[in-house]
Amino acid sequence: MTIHIGAEAGQIAETVLLPGDPLRAEWAAHNFLDNPVCVNRVRGMFGFTGTWNGHPVTIHGSGMGMPSLSIYANELIRDYGAKTLVRIGSCGAMQPAVGLRDVILGMTASSLSTPSRGIFRELNFAPCADFDLLQKAVVAARSIGATYHVGGLYSADVFYDERPDLNDIMTRHGILGVEMEAAELYNLAARHGVRALAVLTVSDHLLTHEALSAQDRQSSFGDMVRIALEASFS
């Protein structure tokens, strides 16, 4: 047990999927895992462990924003021995060619700041995904016929952004989507020598202002979970 995770030793798998929403962790566990067991409910941040095609998998909520994800990812890696961490969540599209329900595979993650800023100090470290996971995620996306895009993410510190000029710069430089966690996940993976990837579903569009309803979000998120699982074990 750790401060934020109540699981006992051996209850967390080496492969962990990380949705921000703990209820999405519950939904994914019951829809994709065999015999899922709730191994954490501290602060309502649910974590479930079961198997997928015989492989042990944990699906654990990470909360919103990089500080929250940093807490859970650190404990999962350092205290429970997680080796593969895949963020599964929603994002906002920033390119005209990216549509609602499309899947974005985050190759890199830009940010204004992350919880790792104090370590890097003056260095502008470039966090990126694990190439092997990314490559396998592309294969998985093709195999299920998903519409996917590979490229850069922008990990923002705020949800209610009042910097349209910054969004314009991100779009101009080819950033595919905006979310709030991937950059720190990639930082931590690099620091601890583990694998990480962000597999995201587009839930809204910053250019067209389209957005999925809450019900549509849930029904559209199956592809990213399948891709995350296939990439982790292929």
Task: Answer yes or no: is 43 a known binding residue.
Answer: yes
For residue 75, say whether it is annotated as part of any ligand binding site. no
Q: Is the pLDDT of residue 208 over 70?
A: yes
Domains of the chain: 15-233 (3.40.50.1580)
Please check if 41 is assigned to a binding site.
Answer: no
Query: According to the annotation, is 203 in a ligand binding site?
Result: yes
Residue 86 has pLDDT above 70, yes or no: yes
Q: What is the pLDDT of residues 160-196, one digit of tens each?
A: 988 889 999 999 999 999 999 999 999 999 999 999 9
Question: Residue 219: what pLDDT?
Answer: 67
Lowest mean pLDDT among 98-107, 160-169, 177-186, 214-223: 214-223
> Any binding-site annotation on 195?
no
Q: How remote is the C-alpha of 5 from its chain's centroid?
A: 18
- Please give the pLDDT value at position 11: 98
Which amino acid, 98?
V
Could you list the active site residues? Answer: 204
* 99 annotated as belonging to a binding site for a ligand: no
pLDDT over 90 at 41, yes or no: yes
pLDDT at 131: 98
pLDDT top residue among 214 and 93: 93
Residue 110 predicted with pLDDT over 80: yes
Q: Is 204 flagged in the annotation as binding?
A: yes
Does 26 belong to an annotated binding site?
A: no
143-154 pLDDT tens trace: 999 999 999 999
For the entire predicted model, the pTM comes to 0.96
pLDDT of 218 > 70? The answer is: no
Mean pLDDT of the chain: 96
Give yes or no for residue 66 having a pLDDT over 70: yes
